[in-house]
Every structure is written in structure tokens, then in C-alpha cells.
Amino acid sequence: MNDQVTISPTTLSIHLTINGRNHALDIEPRVTLLDALRERLHLTGTKKGCDQGQCGACTVHVDGERVLACLTLAAQVEGREITTIEGLADADGTLNAVQAAFLEQDAFQCGYCTPGQIMSAVACIREGHAGSDEEIREYMAGNLCRCGAYPNIVAAVRQAAQELRS
Amino acid sequence: MRDFSYLRAGNIEAARNAAALPGAMLLAGGTTLIDLAKCGVAEPATVIDISHIEGLNAIDVTADRAVIGALAKMSHVADNTEVKSLFPAVSEALWQAASAQLRNMATIGGNLMQRTRCPYFRDPQNFPACNKRAPASGCSAIGGVTRGHAVLGVSEACIATYPGDLAVALVAFDAEVDLGERKLKVEDFFLAPGATAEREHDIRPGEVIMTIEIPGSAAARRSTYVKVRDRQSYEFAAASAAVGLELESDGRTIRDIRVALGGVATKPWRVRAVEDALKGKALDEDTVRKASALAVEGAVDHGANHYKIALAPRVIARAILKLGETA
Ligand SMILES: Cc1cc2nc3c(=O)[nH]c(=O)nc-3n(C[C@H](O)[C@H](O)[C@H](O)COP(=O)(O)OP(=O)(O)OC[C@H]3O[C@@H](n4cnc5c(N)ncnc54)[C@H](O)[C@@H]3O)c2cc1C
Ligand code: SF4
Ligand code: FES
Ligand code: FES
């Protein structure tokens, strides 16, 4: 784009790369990544809790970093690599170490916050912020769990971090 | 959320031109803008996405100064090794802010531009009166629930707290914000409400924050950010203090000290009265507590926020004494 100012039409045609697949979409500029995923692409694993950046249920990865899909415009992440909970397991169905640890540690009750917790935990471990329970609690603070499964969530993150380190 | 048109700026010139259009707003991380658009507070006609502009996210740190690009992410600055060792208060203010996800989205430029969390400001449907949103409409907070509101720098027009953490550390260490055509002290970039609560920043249409610069100093190297809040993490400050300390070679006389407060004032609040009272003095608890009390001289409460007047000096003292212990 050059220095000129061009105003987009009310519908944008964009391409999103999600879990390695390219998707073409016509959307209004105001559509968030969360709504695009859930309502348009039917990738409903990413949850809508607060829709205001306060709960972490909508956590996805953009270029490998955890972000909130509810405060991200879909148009803004064109050209970026987006990963959702649906893209975490291997193609043959083998679970990611964090997914397996959540099952083993029983780290959920209703499960609503779980996809966001898992996406957040994968990134938390990758960032090197899962060194102690205290650090896990601090760096997972952006994911709320109304069922209060926190002790088991910390245990699952600890277990997965240990497995991935060894 | 009202619809808007979307423009992706390829470079800074395009961003400046577009930002000068009526109803245009810049979009960096979106964690303030999209949030406020959802509340009905921000109603941009055009959103100008600057997040794809290259070269504005550099983090350049030497002992002399730190230069941080406006598009650098909060998380990247917080984790930067040089920032941690040469400007620890900056790193601490950043990692104690928001959540890991938000810090991966939010930029340093956007951080300076974040708006107050005053619940009345954020709820135009139920509370039409808000001088910050709609000049001369009144203030719903005065006479309402004020637990989170400011006690320093308030006016009859507005008592909203400046909510951010980073800028508190920036004003303590004399940082500057570079707007391209002009540069100003971060302390002057933020405006107290006075009679014009709607103006929070000294920034003009078409101006874009390019970088912030923090001069290096012995006090910046020995610094900390103490944040006290209602829950341990993922919460705005009830009161916070950025403090930097330089001692004489005797190891106990204060040569230089910087003190700034967050969570209690209408803008990031440097407290020179405390600094002046401590320079040249020996660092002991009694002296520190007496000097810290000067921070809230002239404070005005509105009932439920009275506790902040007692809390703020204690947070300052805790920060100074903590630094004193780490010889
Ligand atoms: C749930 C939640 C909790 C939070 N907790 C904290 C906390 O504890 N401490 C804290 O400090 N902050 C906190 N924040 C605020 C957060 O830090 C800010 O929202 C963030 O820093 C804004 O940056 P951004 O890049 O997302 O800005 P955007 O939303 O993209 O932009 C914000 C504003 O700045 C303008 N802007 C952006 N970039 C520039 C530029 N380069 N030049 C000029 N104008 C520009 C935009 O036009 C817009 O008006 C929290 C936010 C949320 C949602
Ligand atoms: S305190 Fe300020 S922001 Fe809050 S309602 Fe009053 S005028 Fe508006
Ligand atoms: S739905 Fe995005 S943070 Fe709650
Ligand atoms: S398991 Fe129910 S909200 Fe977390």
C-alpha cells in the first residue's frame, strides 16, 4: 500500500491461515477473529466467555504467541499463522502433551474454559514461564475458571512442562 | 459495536495521513480500542491498522538509554534481558500488567494511550453523564461509587484514575515520547483533567507515537515497581509505586531517588516532594516513612477511595525499603 489514503468498502475480502489451512472470507471490518472462527468457519472449540478481554476463554495463537481472539479483528491477522485448539493435536489424533496432561490431572469440571486454558498453557511452557507453581499461577492468570479447577490446572501445566523439558 | 471502515497502513506516512481524517482511530494491539468500541465508548468511522508497519517494534537498550518502538509488544519489552538489568522497574511494571495474552497483543504506544477504567466512563448507555466522554455532561462518579477513583490531581470535572503501570515507571525516570515532529516528556504528555477532562494526552490529530526513550541512570538500574491490588494478579493497581535508588559509596546515604505513583492519581504521578525530602539523608525506615507521607499532601477523597490516601505512602515506603535491602 502506498502513502495514499484509501477507505475500504464495508465488506472486506480476506484470507486467513488457520491450523495450516487457507480460508477465504468476506466480512465486515468489525468482525473479530473469535466471531469469524465460531460463526463463519464453525471452529467452535475457541470459546466466547466475556467477549471483553477479561477471561481468556478465546485464547488462540497468532504466529506462535497466545492472544485473545475476542479483541482481535479478523482483518488484522491476515497473513499471520493462526492456531486454534482444533489444530493442536497431531494429524493422526495423538494429543499434545498439554492436552494429555489436562486429561490425566482432571484439570476441568464443565470444560468451558479448557480450550483457552490449554492454548494458554502450551504458550506459557514455550515462553519458559512454567518454571514453578508460583510462576505458572502468575502467567496463567489471564485464564479464569468459574468451576475453580485451578489446583488441577496448575498440576497439569507442571506435568506437561516437566515432560516437555525431559 | 458500530461498523467502521478498515484501512491497513503500509508505512508511517500513510498512517499519519489517515490518522488526520475525521473519525479515524489508530489500531495497534486493539486491547483498548476494540474493548471500548464494544462498550460503545469509541465509535471510530475508520480504523487504521498500524500493526503491520515494519520497523516500529525495535527495542534498543544501552547503559545510556533505552529506545523502544511504539509497536513493540509489552511482553517482549518485559522479557528483554537488557531492560531487565538496566531498567528493572520498567520490566516489572509491564509483567505485572494485564495478562500474558494481552501483553502479547498490546503495544507500548497503545499502552500510553489506554483510557481510564472508570466504570461510568465505560458504560454510556446507563450513565450518559461523563465529562471525559461528553464534555460538560457532568460526572456520574462524583456522588457515586468511587472505590477505584483518584485522590491526586482530581478536579470538579473528573476524578478518574489513570490505570496504567508502565507510564508510572516512565515518569520516574524522565522518559520522553517521540511523536515524529516533536518530542516531549512523558510527564507532560499526560494531562490532568482540570476543566478539560476529555483531553488526556498532548497529542494532535495526525500524530503517531514513534518511540519512547528512557535515559539510563544509576537509579534506573536499581529500581523496582511495587503494585498492590485487590487480587494478586491480572488486576489494575489499587496503588503502585515506581522507585529508583542510588546510594553514596557509604552504602546508606541517598544520592539520587525517583518516586512515582500509580493507581491513585489522574495521571502517572511523579512525587518530587518525597524525592527532595530523602536526597542526602540516610536510608532508614523512619526517615523513609516520614518522607513517603508527603506524597499525599493535598489529596482529596470522595468517600470509598479514602483508603488510597493511607495506602499510597505505604506502597512507596515498601518499594524504597525493598530496594535498600538489595545492596
Ligand atoms: C482486561 C484488561 C486488563 C488490563 N490490565 C492492565 C493493567 O493491569 N495494567 C496496565 O497498564 N494496562 C492494563 N490493561 C490495558 C492494556 O495495557 C492496554 O489496553 C494496552 O496497552 C493498549 O495497547 P494496544 O496496542 O492494544 O492499543 P490499541 O487498543 O490498539 O490502541 C489504544 C489507543 O491508542 C491509540 N494508538 C495506538 N498506537 C498508537 C501510536 N503509535 N500513536 C498514537 N496513538 C496510538 C489508538 O488509536 C487507540 O486510541 C488491561 C487491558 C485489559 C483489556
Ligand atoms: S470520573 Fe471522569 S471518567 Fe468517570 S464519570 Fe466522572 S468524568 Fe467520567
Ligand atoms: S472471551 Fe475473550 S477474553 Fe473472554
Ligand atoms: S472447568 Fe468450568 S470454567 Fe473452568
HEC-encoded secondary structure of A10-35: CCEEEEEEECCEEEEEEECCCCEHHH
Q: Which part of chain B is CATH 3.30.43? A: 5-49
The H or E element that residue B49 is part of is strand B46-49
CB contact, 8 Å: A91 with chain B?
A: no
**Which CATH number, 2.40.128, 1.10.3470, 3.20.90, 3.30.43, labels domain B5-49?**
3.30.43
Q: How many CB atoms neighbour CB A49 within 10 A?
A: 17
Ligand 3 mean position to A47 CA, how many Å?
8
By Cβ distance, the residue of A29, A32, A142 closest to B100 is A142
Cα–Cα distance for residue pair A153/A140, rounded to 1 Å? 9
Q: Are strands B5-8 and B46-49 parallel, antiparallel or unpaired?
A: parallel
Question: What is each CA distance from A1 to A4, B12, B180, in whole angstroms?
Answer: 8, 11, 21
- Please report, for chain A, the start and end positions of each structural domain, with discontinuous segments joined by +: 12-87, 97-165
Q: Kindly report the CATH class assigned to A97-165.
A: mainly alpha
Q: Are strands A59-62 and B183-185 parallel, antiparallel or unpaired?
A: unpaired
A116 to chain B: closest CA residue? B101
Q: Which residues in chain B have Cβ-Cβ distances shorter than 8 Å to A120?
A: 100-101
CB contact, 8 Å: A158 with chain B?
A: no
Fold match, A12-87 / A97-165: no
Q: What is the pLDDT of residues B17-67, one digit of tens each?
A: 999 999 999 999 999 999 999 999 999 999 999 999 999 999 999 999 999
What ipTM is given for this predicted complex? Answer: 0.95
Q: What is the pLDDT of residues B250-283, one digit of tens each?
A: 999 999 999 999 999 999 999 999 999 999 999 9
By Cβ distance, the residue of A71, A139, A143 closest to B34 is A71
Residues with Cβ within 8 Å of residue B100, at least 6 apart in sequence: A66, A120, A123, A124, A127, A129, A139, A140, A141, A142, B75
Q: Residues lining ligand 3, CB < 6 A?
A: A 48-51, 53-58, 68, 70
CB contact, 8 Å: A135 with chain B?
A: no
By Cβ distance, the residue of B6, B10, B51 closest to A1 is B10
Superfamily of domain B219-325 in CATH is CO dehydrogenase flavoprotein, C-terminal domain (3.30.390.50)
Pocket of ligand 2 contains residue B150 by CB under 6 Å: no
The overall longest dimension of chain A from CA atoms, in Å, is: 56
Q: What integer pLDDT is reported at residue A158 of this predicted model?
A: 98
B104 to chain A: closest CA residue? A67
pLDDT of A21 over the 50 cut: yes
Share of chain B above pLDDT 90, in %: 98
Q: What integer pLDDT is reported at residue B200 of this predicted model?
A: 96
Q: Kindly report the CATH class assigned to A12-87.
A: alpha beta
Shortest Cα distance, chain B CAs vs residue A114, angstroms? 15
Q: What integer pLDDT is reported at residue A3 of this predicted model?
A: 46
Cα–Cα distance for residue pair B56/A143, rounded to 1 Å? 30
Shortest Cα distance, chain B CAs vs residue A10, angstroms? 6
Cα–Cα distance for residue pair B25/B15, rounded to 1 Å? 10
- Supply the mean pLDDT for chain A: 94
Ligand 2 mean position to B159 CA, how many Å?
6
Cα–Cα distance for residue pair B178/B109, rounded to 1 Å? 10
Q: Which part of chain B is CATH 3.30.390.50? A: 219-325
Ligand 1 mean position to B242 CA, how many Å?
20
Check: CB of residue A30 under 8 Å from CB of residue A73: yes
Mark residue B272 as left, alpha or beta (left: phi above 0; alpha: psi -120 to 50; beta: remaining).
alpha
Ligand 4 mean position to A84 CA, how many Å?
18
Shortest Cα distance, chain A CAs vs residue B232, angstroms? 8
Q: What is the pLDDT of residues B143-158, one digit of tens each?
A: 999 999 999 999 999 9
Question: What is each CA distance from B252 to A67, B59, B277, in whole angstroms?
Answer: 45, 34, 15
B35 to chain A: closest CA residue? A52
Ligand nearest to the CA of B148: 2
- What confidence tier does A7 reach under pLDDT thresholds 50, 70, 90? low
